[in-house]
Structure 1
Amino acid sequence: MIVLGVDPGSNITGYGVIKVMEQGGKLDRTKLTVIDYGIVKLDEEEIFPVKLKKIYDKITEIINLHHPTELAIETAFYGKNFQSAFKIGHVRGVVILSAVNSGISVFEYTPREVKKAVVGRGNATKEQVQFMVRAILGLKNFAEFYDVSDALAIAICHINRTLVPEYVRFRDWKAFLKAHPEFLSEGEDILIKSKRKRK
């Protein structure tokens, strides 16, 4: 399993490619190998359509070089600057198009989901995310842009979401059963409800 993570930006787009190794014939999310990472840095003076083409071409080049099986990308963040969010939406579009044209599945994650997956807190700082990315991937001499560490974090988030059983993501068993009542028989459902009433 090879995952390409992308942190979209109108002037700097970060990317990171991670391979999940096998252990005992199964993919092991603790055994990750970084294949490639970097940025697509664009000239601020270039017109926006040209920037979009360069991002599309570079992502397509990375896909053709490393043959990732899946692409993970951060969802659009709507902050106070609408113009910036609008441009990032376009960048996301060409990145997703590149993946789809290459036959790769696309997965999207919010910034909060990514931070929680890597740091354990949805309000973590970029410095904390970068520190944990370095620790998880064993990048001792890593001193790259936050765009790169964010892209690698997005890939790690996707790997965790894909390889961790769904029930582990819930705070407890009851929360899992509440989200998936199809796993309950009628008697079990009544028992759980009666326990709640006694409390």
Structure 2
Amino acid sequence: MMSQKGVGTGVVATSVVATEKIIIGVDPGTQVTGYGVIMIKNQQISLVQYGVIHLSKYSTHELKLKKIFERISQLIDEYLPDEMAIEDPFFGKNAQSMLKLGRAQGVAMAAALSRGIPIVEYSPKKIKQSVTGNGNATKEQVAYMLENILKMELSREFMDATDGIAIAICHHYHATAPASIGGGGSGKKAKKGGWGAFINENPERLK
């Protein structure tokens, strides 16, 4: 945003550029999908919203995908993010689990793409490394570091929601990565490897 102050007959005396960006981070799952929305203003991070999408009550995988798409679309319409950051697909031994989680990620991405929002993918290890300095950090360690970064207390009831925040902050920290896959947008992409261990560490995320 450009702010100008006129002097005399309109000569510009000063100009101040204030940078502002809203990022939505999404932690996709077929039982619980977490999300976090942050605002970056003059390099200062503030939390806008975070929460989870509960999916276990839906009887079919198709209904779960529909709910993810609808809720992520609602969040995008409400908070108008400039970019989306999302955990990237993993490569594990359970092909069925990979397929289901990949679909969950895909519909979240589709919600962003349908509104022209650039998408960025990060591995869980990269996200943990960015936030805590340790790619093998626990969820509790990630949440603790997020509280230090945001200077506020976060609920431990929905750890998948704090994961969503971590993904968004990771993207902010890697804002100079190569160009994104997003539809003509100015987002970034920093996809680093797979996350086969994720499925073993989080079996409750998949049906």
Instruction: Give the TM-score normalised by the residue count of structure 1.
Output: 0.75
Partner of 1:51: 64
Computed over aligned residues only, the root mean square deviation of the Cα atoms, in angstroms, reads 1.5
Take 2:124 and 2:30, find their aligned partners in 1: how far apart are those partners? 17
Identity of aligned residues (%): 43
Q: CA deviation at 1:141?
A: 4.7
Q: CA deviation at 1:102?
A: 0.8
Take 2:93 and 2:57, find their aligned partners in 1: how far apart are those partners? 21
Alignment counterpart, residue 38 of structure 2, candidates 18, 22, 35: 18
Partner of 2:205: none
Is this contact kept in 1: 2:143–2:154, CA < 8 A? no
Matched position secondary structure for 1:17: strand
Q: CA 1:4–1:122 in 2, change beyond 3 Å: closer, same or farther?
A: same
Partner of 2:129: 116
Instruction: Give the TM-score normalised by the residue count of structure 2.
Output: 0.72
Take 1:140 and 1:130, find their aligned partners in 2: how far apart are those partners? 9
Q: CA deviation at 1:97?
A: 0.5
Matched position secondary structure for 2:86: strand
Is this contact kept in 2: 1:4–1:70, CA < 8 A? yes
Q: Which runs of 5+ in 1 are unaligned?
A: 23-27, 165-199
Q: Describe the superposition over 1:41-82 as per-residue Cα deviations: whole angstroms up to 9, x where unpaired.
A: 013451111110010000000000000000000011233433
Q: CA deviation at 1:123?
A: 1.3
Take 2:174 and 2:131, find their aligned partners in 1: how far apart are those partners? 11
Q: CA 1:80–1:146 in 2, change beyond 3 Å: closer, same or farther?
A: farther
Take 2:124 and 2:48, find their aligned partners in 1: how far apart are those partners? 23
Q: Which runs of 5+ in 2 are unaligned?
A: 1-20, 178-207
Matched position secondary structure for 1:162: coil
| Worse overlay, 12-21 or 131-140 | 131-140
Matched, 1:6 2:37: no
Q: CA 1:133–1:45 in 2, change beyond 3 Å: closer, same or farther?
A: same
Q: CA deviation at 1:34?
A: 0.8
Is this contact kept in 1: 2:85–2:167, CA < 8 A? yes
Take 2:136 and 2:153, find their aligned partners in 1: how far apart are those partners? 25
Partner of 1:71: 84
Partner of 1:106: 119
Q: Describe the superposition over 1:163-187 as per-residue Cα deviations: whole angstroms up to 9, x where unpaired.
A: 69xxxxxxxxxxxxxxxxxxxxxxx
| Worse overlay, 124-133 or 6-15 | 124-133
Matched, 1:129 2:142: yes
Take 2:160 and 2:100, find their aligned partners in 1: how far apart are those partners? 16
